[in-house]
């Protein structure tokens, strides 16, 4: 694996899951794999869990990390054509910036959110793609315009750890209310990974206008009826995302979508997942979050082992 | 020692002082104690000396450090009840945040200033206590609403290094003017540590309305007469703090409280201490700061050894 | 070498160039030289390449690095007289700050731009000089009010790598248009290093009012005719800098100074250099930047080896 930007970059998903679980048991068993190599972490948007878990993962492999926060360094990148006349606010073109990062680092990790203004632009993944095109080194997505693969890999890992029955787990991904129009990345990516894995039944429930792109959800059952999705589910993934039509907007404020213990009772004693940060009693009820049904902290913890398996795979490939 | 938040968390203060002095002589003699472990440093408020000295201390023990600045990452924590409806500015509840930090780190260090609006809230130390309650790992205070224990430990270390006579040192803690209403932490904490140590005579001089809480100062002599406190002192600790009544306000601008060489002449050739940063000729005269009487740089340097002794004690306990 | 602030701090420039080239071949061959030592990096102004390349250089030598960004930590330094009354915005005097950094770090690296308001003040290098005066440890400039020595050393390294003929290279340093008034540091420093090296012919072309100070350029040919400077050049260094008279202002917006392929044709197939970040089609045409004539990425990459040679020299001297 050279780059890691989606489930479809992974040549052997079951093997990568096993590698992550092996690191969870013995975090340092490959502690020299990244010796003398540096992971550059470029944040065009803020990060908590992703940054910290990836730094720990890198160090478990003996890699150094260097963090570059574009905003706090007042550094505005240009992603326009090569021939753009740069007489505006942006101070450096991605063509130079990425090539220079390629000189300094051995692996480059990049976070860049969608702007939620222009669907085609976001779906083109032009920022992530330009980093890959120009850096000349392996690139790991720390969340891009449409996907959040390290999150989804950790989510899948959590499901694999918790689902001990032989039959495929029944998974419901359900939309939740929020105050702000959020990216669709986590939801798109969760669907993509569950479907790429192939070992589960996935139902996605959302209000009209919030249907995710089929590119990510083909193979899942889509419904506007949350109760139907919850019925008999083994896992419920709770997440808000902004509308798909009109793109990127906040069009539904129906508080009935909030998951509470009464709704959870319709499931098969489901474990409740969320990528965090979560707004209590807006997205998800505190009664659930403070109960053993919620596995959100386990998910967050698994971010380390997911990132470590990914970095190890890239280091092995690239050596 | 599991957590470090005040002098009273330390089971054996003389022994901890000796450990710090041993690290000062041989910084790396326990360089493998923290191998493979990570100190998470969460700053809800800015820091210079505390952050840098603690990072160096951790690395001297072989620990990695990861710094998380809440403000520059635009991350606003919720400290309200578990059942709060999070439809405002805060994006993550401490209950989730601290538990996730507990997954990622081996030891958590936290800085959080008082808001100086509500005395009971500040004195409850609710922020630090919630980190401890939810993180599930050892927590080190990097300054909290009412105390600054790593500073005070370094201060005490400096006094121990400098006071070579057998009799107990006479120490004056004197209020100084300032432009802004500052926390009472450094003053509270200095008093607490000196009194917990028990080997000194402490006099605290301040304007009316600035008397520190007896919880921290019981056992010290309190006066409004700065000259009385200075007379015969071996050490003079200079520090501003905001009023205690009305709480957190700036009520005294009497420039006569500025310590200058004329006043210092009343002491027993006292060494002059300050936690830094210090505003020259507002809090403390430059004539003193630029003389050998000032030991402020030695104090700041001792921050490393204080932090290293604390981390080593926690690592040993927690192993 | 104790401090590194200009070409004239280097006792043996050819030897330092050879050391940098040796590190480029074998980055880790002195990986224990800085073991147990910490490089403190203080940024009064933002940085991308300089920070990252210096961190990697330090780690290649086994040194730890700690970064302190004054702005994002809301920390405003006072550089006035020792006797200043600090009742304004600045919170800490350089006399205390630098002495404390001297306690914590083994080597101190500092970036501080000119204010471009007062030529004498900028040319006095008072900020860098005060760090050196008070820190008591070796100081490395990461760009100061008038010079950028790590950049220029990397530039010279790039020229040495690329110029394979026996005759001295002909080098043109040419002014370029920009939107903002920029420091003169890179241009001053490039001239200083080329002239200190002594192995090249240097011509500097700029609009009237932009002539750099003779302190840095004595020995170079100065012209207002860009074409004359380009004729037969082996290297063309493109860079904007603000006016020298009136000091620090933007007085020329003549777009004819933009280097494009037509002008480049007048050279001896010159390699085109720029310190980055570069504004495409404002300072330098994209047709050149995207061609093999541009060596800007090689320059940026060489920043690591330049910094590593400098740090190694300081560590050896200081041991």
| DSSP, res A7 | G
Cβ pair A297:B99 closer than 8 A: yes
> Could you give the CA distance from residue C269 to residue A224 in angstroms, rounded to a whole number?
66
Output the six-digit token pair for C274. 């720029």
Reported pTM = 0.97
Query: Using one digit for the tens of pLDDT, what is the confidence trace for C89-123?
Result: 999 999 999 999 999 999 999 999 999 999 999 99
* 3-class SS of residue B121: helix
Query: Using one digit for the tens of pLDDT, what is the confidence trace for B177-197?
Result: 999 999 999 999 999 999 999
Nearest CB partner across the interface for C28, out of A36, A68, A103: A36
Q: Which residues of B touch A282 (CB under 8 A)?
A: 85-87
Query: Using one digit for the tens of pLDDT, what is the confidence trace for A193-245?
Result: 999 999 999 999 999 999 999 999 999 999 999 999 999 999 999 999 999 98
Q: Are B156 and B167 in contact (CB under 8 A)?
A: no
User: Chain A 24-53, CB below 8 Å of chain B: which residues?
Assistant: 27-28, 46-49, 52-53
- Look at residue B11 in the predicted model and tell me its pLDDT: 96
User: Chain C 279-298, CB below 8 Å of chain A: which residues?
Assistant: 279-282, 286, 289-290, 296-297
The DSSP result for C268-288, as a single string, is: SS-EEE--S---BTTTB-HHH
Smallest CA–CA separation between A221 and chain B, in Å?
Answer: 31
| DSSP, res C158 | H
- Look at residue C70 in the predicted model and tell me its pLDDT: 87
> Could you give the CA distance from residue C104 to residue B301 in angstroms, rounded to a whole number?
7
Paired with A35 in beta bridges are none
- Look at residue B182 in the predicted model and tell me its pLDDT: 97
Nearest CB partner across the interface for C296, out of A75, A86, A96: A96
H-state helical runs in B136-231 = 149-162, 185-197, 214-217, 226-230
Query: Lowest-confidence range among A74-78, B13-17, C29-33?
Result: A74-78
* 3-class SS of residue B106: coil
Paired with B223 in beta bridges are B205
Cβ pair B281:C100 closer than 8 A: no
CA distances from C293 to C57, C136, C165, C186, C265 (A): 27, 44, 17, 21, 11
Q: Are A284 and A184 in contact (CB under 8 A)?
A: no
> Could you give the CA distance from residue A272 to residue A288 in angstroms, rounded to a whole number?
8
Query: Using one digit for the tens of pLDDT, what is the confidence trace for A222-233?
Result: 999 999 999 999
A73 touches chain C (CB under 8 A): yes
- Look at residue B319 in the predicted model and tell me its pLDDT: 52
Residue of chain B with shortest Cα separation from C80: B280
Query: Using one digit for the tens of pLDDT, what is the confidence trace for C240-264?
Result: 999 998 999 999 999 999 999 999 9
- Is ipTM > 0.90 here? yes
| Terminal C-alpha separation, chain A | 11
Q: Which residues of B touch A69 (CB under 8 A)?
A: 72
CA distances from A167 to A76, A164, A192, A199, A268 (A): 50, 9, 20, 9, 13
Q: Which of C7, C63, C1, C4 is nearest to C196 (CA)?
A: C7
Q: Is the pLDDT of residue A132 over 60?
A: yes
Residue of chain A with shortest Cα separation from B79: A280
Confidence of residue A72 (pLDDT cuts 50, 70, 90): confident
Output the six-digit token pair for C286. 């994209």
Q: What is the mean pLDDT of chain A?
A: 96
Cβ pair A282:B103 closer than 8 A: no
- Look at residue A46 in the predicted model and tell me its pLDDT: 87
Q: Is the pLDDT of residue C319 over 60?
A: no
**Positive/negative CA dihedral, B21, B22, B28, B31:** negative
- Look at residue C46 in the predicted model and tell me its pLDDT: 87
Query: Using one digit for the tens of pLDDT, what is the confidence trace for B15-73?
Result: 999 999 999 999 999 999 999 999 999 999 989 999 999 999 999 999 999 999 987 77
Cβ pair A56:B78 closer than 8 A: no
Q: At what angle do helices A94-104 and C49-60 cross, to 10 degrees?
A: 10
Give A44-47's long-range contacts (Cβ < 8 A, gap of 24+): A44/A70, A44/A71, A44/A77, A44/A110, A44/A111, A44/A112, A44/A113, A44/A127, A45/A71, A45/A111, A45/A112, A45/A113, A45/A143, A46/A71, A46/B73, A46/B74, A46/B75, A47/A111, A47/A142, A47/A143, A47/B73
Q: Is the pLDDT of residue C218 over 80?
A: yes
- Look at residue B72 in the predicted model and tell me its pLDDT: 76
Report the 10 Å Cβ neighbour count for B284.
26
């Amino acid at each position: 694996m050279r780059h890691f930007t989606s489930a479809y970059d992974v040549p052997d998903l079951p093997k990568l899951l096993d590698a992550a679980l092996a690191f969870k048991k013995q975090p340092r068993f490959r502690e020299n794999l990244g010796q003398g190599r540096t992971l550059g972490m470029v944040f065009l948007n803020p990060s908590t869990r992703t940054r910290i878990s990836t730094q720990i993962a890198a160090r478990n492999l003996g890699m150094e990390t260097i963090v570059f926060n574009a905003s706090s360094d007042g550094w505005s990148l240009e992603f326009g054509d090569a021939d753009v006349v740069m007489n505006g606010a942006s101070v450096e073109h991605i063509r130079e910036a990425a090539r220079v990062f390629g000189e300094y680092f051995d692996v480059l990790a990049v976070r860049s959110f969608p702007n939620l203004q222009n669907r085609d632009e976001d779906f083109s993944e032009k920022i992530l793609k330009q980093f890959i095109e120009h850096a000349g080194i392996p690139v790991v997505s720390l969340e891009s315009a449409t996907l959040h693969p390290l999150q989804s890999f950790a989510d899948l890992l959590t499901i694999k750890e918790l689902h001990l029955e032989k039959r495929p787990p029944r998974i419901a991904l359900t939309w939740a209310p929020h105050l702000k129009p959020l990216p669709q990345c986590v939801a798109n990516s969760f669907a993509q990974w569950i479907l790429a894995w192939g070992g589960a039944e996935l139902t996605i429930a959302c209000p009209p206008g919030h249907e995710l792109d089929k590119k990510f959800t083909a193979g899942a059952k889509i419904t506007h009826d949350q109760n139907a999705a919850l019925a008999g589910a083994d896992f419920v993934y709770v997440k808000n995302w902004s509308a798909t039509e009109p793109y990127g907007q906040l069009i539904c404020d129906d508080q009935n979508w909030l998951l509470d213990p009464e709704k959870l009772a319709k499931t098969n004693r489901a474990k409740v997942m969320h990528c965090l940060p979560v707004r209590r009693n807006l997205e998800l009820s505190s009664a659930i979050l403070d109960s053993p049904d919620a596995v959100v902290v386990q998910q967050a913890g698994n971010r380390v082992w997911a990132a470590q398996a990914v970095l190890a795979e890239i280091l092995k490939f690239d050596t």
